[in-house]
A and B are shown apart, each in its own frame.
Chain A
């Protein structure tokens, strides 16, 4: 991971500090299985430097941005860069304090406290990823206030106060435009530093595709990246819904092409078929037909 950061041109001072952080804090064996090696890398030097600086200063991060900007990929990348276990907390309107910090349960004839992901994060020095934080009610999130500010602890009613492990951090993600989302209250927002995630640039998308598919020819890498950018523009101008704006879908389609499926069919499976409105599908087909030939196959796309 550190090699990747060096390749990306991240400031050597930050990488040095990151290394020192990793050397200082070991991972408890109980949660070592939660230290992941990321499947995808996040590209964007400036965003990386902002986030690393904030986390090294002990701040918590709020990543905001529309769909397909890599918020969750980046959160996992950050945990991997710091070498910390990840605790994913998917929030919804039904989330309450108990689902975050834990609640009483009955085990072997006695009432015991069952830790929630936030408490475990606090105890083991993990990175708690609060996914879609603005889906949850602010009242439910109030329990996090103490953990996120200078007090760095969680006071569980009826039990002890858990001091936050010095390596513990919280990274929240949110998409402001989704239906069902709420306004984050000031008290909670002030406990995060906020990074507005930009849409992935063509250059970074090419890098991502290049790393995922080393044998993908540069010309086609560029065309697939441009195709995705054009989908982004079409979504931004509200001509199509965000259903087709699916980076995972594009990567899956290229993987299918690598398996031997013709490019058009693979793109249909990965992108076009995710849209159920026939008119929208037609617009997406139009996009593809001006970039990708119908006869395109594996032998042309890959150089192996």
Chain B
């Protein structure tokens, strides 16, 4: 089961994106109810602010407030004012907001504490909500002036609001905003203490802690404004790192959780998975990601290598295409079927006349080779560092040849970083124009072959094709720093994932995949000494080509032999 805060965080983001009508940004604020669920009303308001205003001046203001000791309090004051100013335009598009706002106000008023027990923000919020419900709540004269100042005129633009807020901070709190680039002028307390000290209430905790907080149970409608980055635990940090370096996950957080539950079992139970198409968020920059920078550099090298050997590579593509196409077109395989329509079989005409048997025609076999998919899996671990350009070119040659034969092809690579096996998909079945993306291939980290084959197999088996072919390009030397868990003996034991254990694990996965009807071939990209391990994993379905000229012939021979059997 997914941790509730993660699902709810995704829900909250969706509510914000939906209200903003824009899915290209990563929200910096979200709102949750005390039970940890996303708050529909306030998240709609956050999204509406994005839609209504030019967010840059506000973003700048929030960032500068972040440097103040009472950052969360001031940010909440600004949101209080924004919720008021954006409402008229938001309700025009979404009339139901009126009902949602009243419900929200009722909740706040019903659960409001006595005036003297409230913090300043609670007092302002209670007064505002009471006003919406046609009643009033106590405010001192200074609080009233602040309240009035915070109710920004809906006609103001974002810059004017930012200016007004700066004035409020100066007039009411004697607070001068630091410039955005300057450092923090005070010692930052840990977040839990910082929040408690400024608001005096233990109810201000991060969303993940809200459920644990007993006080909150008596105050179920209390809303917490939460900067998004603080919501993340270790899992979130890992995901952010992976997304910055390898690209966004192809799965929703729930889908990801289910995938790991399904595949990270047995010896791989402490591992994680990340499947990506290599698309980065707009907020992710090249400078912050070392792998991404390396990948860009390697892509240039891969392409340069390909272009200097272009003639040789394209000849290999042409030769392989021709050989595979011959098998697809002329090797019919089984016997023709008899049908009631189709091409007339002269030798059976008499049956129609004398026996009234109308099956005197040949019909096409619906399960022909047309329903075949090919997956190419490239080993992208650090052991391939010296031959990255060659592997990228080999992957391209195979993919391009199969594409020219109009076979649906998917090309991915795998590596393992910090216990997480990353599957990077370069081109999918329905994107034949994306073969050049294979040159983005870049190697890094370890290779947990068994888990990678299991993951590739799972994705392959969930496709709708009847005949499936998996081609693995690897040096067949599995190796990972995360150990392999085994329960074979009376005492559980952790082995190093490498050497014999790694090879046996990969062999088990290949064998399992074959039993499920997938044809698995391998191209050994390593040295001749790696061949025995390759044979142990893939049996006889391995090719190892010493030269590039032999490569095309060797691979196409193996593919042809396999296709013949479909």
Contacts and interface: CB of A to CB of B under 8 A. Distances in A.
A179 B429 contact: yes
Contacts of A290: 15, 18-19, 40, 44, 94, 96-97, 100
Given A103-B342, A103-B343, A219 B11 contact: no
- Residue from B17, B38, B341, B465 with most neighbouring chain A CB atoms (10 Å): B341
B7 interface: yes
Nearest to B257: A279
B450 interface: no
Interface string A208-227: 00000000000100010010
B187 interface: no
A93 B96 contact: no
Nearest to A288: B96
8 contacts: A93-B371, A106-B358, A111-B344, A183-B406, A183-B432, A279-B7, A290-B19, A292-B96
B452 interface: no
A233 B44 contact: no
A176 B340 CA distance: 34
B406 A282 contact: no
B18 A233 contact: yes
B464 A180 contact: yes
A167 B464 CA distance: 39
Nearest to A282: B11
A98 B94 contact: no
B11 A237 contact: no
Interface string B348-368: 010011000010110010100
B95 interface: yes
Nearest to A175: B430
A104 B21 CA distance: 56
A237 B17 contact: yes
Contact of B93 (A93, A138, A226): A226
Contact of A104 (B14, B17, B342): B342
A220 to B, nearest CB: 10
A103 B430 contact: no
Kindly state the interface size class of chain B when it binds its partner: 35 or more
A180 B293 CA distance: 34
A103 B96 contact: no
Question: Across chains A and B, which 9 residue pairs bring their CB atoms closest together, nearest first?
Answer: A237-B23, A279-B254, A105-B341, A103-B341, A106-B358, A94-B366, A183-B432, A106-B352, A104-B344
B247 interface: no
A230 B18 contact: yes
Given A137-B406, A290-B18, A290-B44, 13 more contacts: A96-B364, A106-B352, A106-B361, A138-B406, A180-B408, A183-B406, A233-B18, A233-B23, A236-B23, A239-B23, A286-B11, A289-B40, A290-B97
A183 B464 CA distance: 17
Interface string B490-531: 000000000000000000000000000000000000000000
B463 interface: yes
Interface string A171-186: 0000011111111000
A299 B361 CA distance: 62
Contact of A178 (B349, B353, B361, B430): B430
Nearest to A185: B406
A96 B21 CA distance: 45
A274 interface: no
Contacts of B254: 277, 279
Contacts of B353: 109
Interface in B3-27: 7, 10-11, 14-15, 17-19, 21, 23
Interface string B334-345: 000000111110
B338 to A, nearest CB: 12
B539 interface: no
Contacts of A94: 364, 366, 370
Nearest to A181: B430
Kindly state the interface size class of chain A when it binds its partner: 35 or more
A93 B10 CA distance: 38
Interface in B292-339: none
A178 B429 CA distance: 10
Given A233-B18, A293-B99, A104 B343 contact: yes
A180 B97 CA distance: 43
Contacts of A181: 430
A106 B360 contact: yes
Interface in A109-155: 109, 111, 114, 137-138
Given A93-B370, A230-B18, A223 B95 contact: yes
Nearest to A237: B23
Nearest to A138: B406
Given A179-B464, A226-B93, A98 B18 contact: no
A291 B23 contact: no
A283 B14 contact: yes
B408 A182 contact: yes
A156 interface: no
Contacts of A223: 95
A287 interface: yes
Contacts of B44: 290
Contacts of B18: 230, 233-234, 286-287, 290
Contact of B361 (A103, A109, A137, A283): A103
A145 to B, nearest CB: 16
Contacts of B408: 180, 182
B430 A177 contact: yes
B136 interface: no
A286 B429 contact: no
B341 A104 contact: yes
A219 B95 contact: yes
B89 interface: no
- Residue from B11, B17, B18, B342 with most neighbouring chain A CB atoms (10 Å): B18
A290 to B, nearest CB: 6
Contacts of A109: 352-353
A233 B463 CA distance: 26
A105 B361 contact: yes
Contacts of A234: 14, 17-18, 23
B252 interface: yes
Interface in B88-126: 93-97, 99-100
B456 to A, nearest CB: 17
Interface string B447-477: 0000000000000000111000000000000
A176 B433 CA distance: 12
B208 to A, nearest CB: 18
